[in-house]
Amino acid sequence: MITDYALAFGSLLLLGGRLGDLSGRFRGRVRGRRRGRQLRSPRRGACGTGPLRRAAGTRDPLTAQRDLHPAVREAEGLRFPGTLTVSAALFAIVYGFAHVESTSWTDRVSLGSLVGGVVLLAVFVWLESRVAHPLLPLRLVRDRTRGGAFLAVFVLGMGMFSIFLFLTYYLEAGIGYSPIEAGLAFLPMVVGIVASSTTAPSLLLPRVGPKAVITAGFLVSASGMALLARLALDSTYVAHIMPGMILLGLGIGAVMTTAFQGATAGVHHEDTGVASALINTSQQVGGSISTALLTTIASSATADYLSSHKPGALTVAQAGVEGYTATLAWGAGIFVIGAVLSAFLIPNRALAPSEGEPVIAH
């Protein structure tokens, strides 16, 4: 369910952001809110449909969008092949990882889905390079600062989903926390995120640059995840869980704020919508892939422990913990990979300001 939501949400964000760039973000926001109210209302909005809508002088936003901007009409036939291709690619990759859980890494369906997803991503890039108004302008990711920042957000999404999902499993199923207690257990991490996200941009970024801040943030997060990967059935909150939570919060906050600024650095006003959407898409898609991959890893670790130990209630409980901590160890590795990629890809120079929306004077 989590993967389905993240895939659907992430896949359509690029389309919404690009439509806002082409037709105008104010009008896009108004249409989006109006359409959302219609979908939530059983009567499809106060104006209704058919004669009532015509009497009120309104039109269906999905029909009216074609008349708002010439670029929208020109690009209408070009957006949807890219949308369908990238959505199918992401679905294939996530399905391939998820299918491994019930089969194996050498299963033909799993390998076929993973390879097919990568091929479709290549087709998507080819399509985007040939159209006048692409869903994802490749100039956004060709810049090293922005490309590295988008990749950092993607890796951050992969790691964060493993924290919130599998650490919650450990707290509730492993050591018996109630849902409220499990939620309160995350507060030190939240405090760390707030502390670092409010200090890193103003104190560290001007002095050491984006590369150093993002790389160091990933390494701090990895150290916190490594501490949590050592949890056991008899671990205590203050001694074993809270220190890792604090380190995670400090690292995540530094990476998040700096990467978000880097992803929109130097963006022209006509690309700000799709650039912002790509930030959310990177995070959601990273989380989708991570959830499918780490669920498979957790299941394998649990099954391996059960098969190598004598049956019993304690063995079952410890097997669950082994599965959860295996995903946290992989999460630490994911953050280390993020640090290495950021160190190589992101230039350590001041972030260029993005252009604002042009103001039309009357």
pLDDT in tens, 82-114: 778 888 888 888 788 777 767 777 888 889 988
**Residue 311 burial (CB < 10 Å; 0-12/13-18/19+)?**
exposed
Tokens of 117: 């997803």
**Residue 237 burial (CB < 10 Å; 0-12/13-18/19+)?**
middle
For the chain, the helix, strand and coil percentages under 3-state DSSP, each to the nearest 5 = 80, 0, 20
What is the pLDDT at residue 358? 46
Tokens of 244: 């890792």
Q: Do residues 73 and 65 make contact, with C-beta atoms less than 8 angstroms apart? A: no
**Residue 126 burial (CB < 10 Å; 0-12/13-18/19+)?**
exposed
What CA–CA distance (Å, rounded) separates 213 from 152? 12
Query: Given a cut of 90, is residue 251 above it in pLDDT?
Result: yes
What CA–CA distance (Å, rounded) separates 150 from 342? 10
pLDDT tens-digit readout, 318-347:
999 999 999 999 999 999 999 999 999 999
pLDDT tens-digit readout, 62-77:
444 444 445 444 444 4
The DSSP result for 59-82, as a single string, is --HHHHGGGT-HHHHHHHHHHHHH
What is the pLDDT at residue 266? 84
User: Mean pLDDT across the stretch 200-222?
Assistant: 93
Q: Do residues 18 and 65 make contact, with C-beta atoms less than 8 angstroms apart? A: no
Most confident of 51-60, 190-199, 257-266, 350-359: 190-199
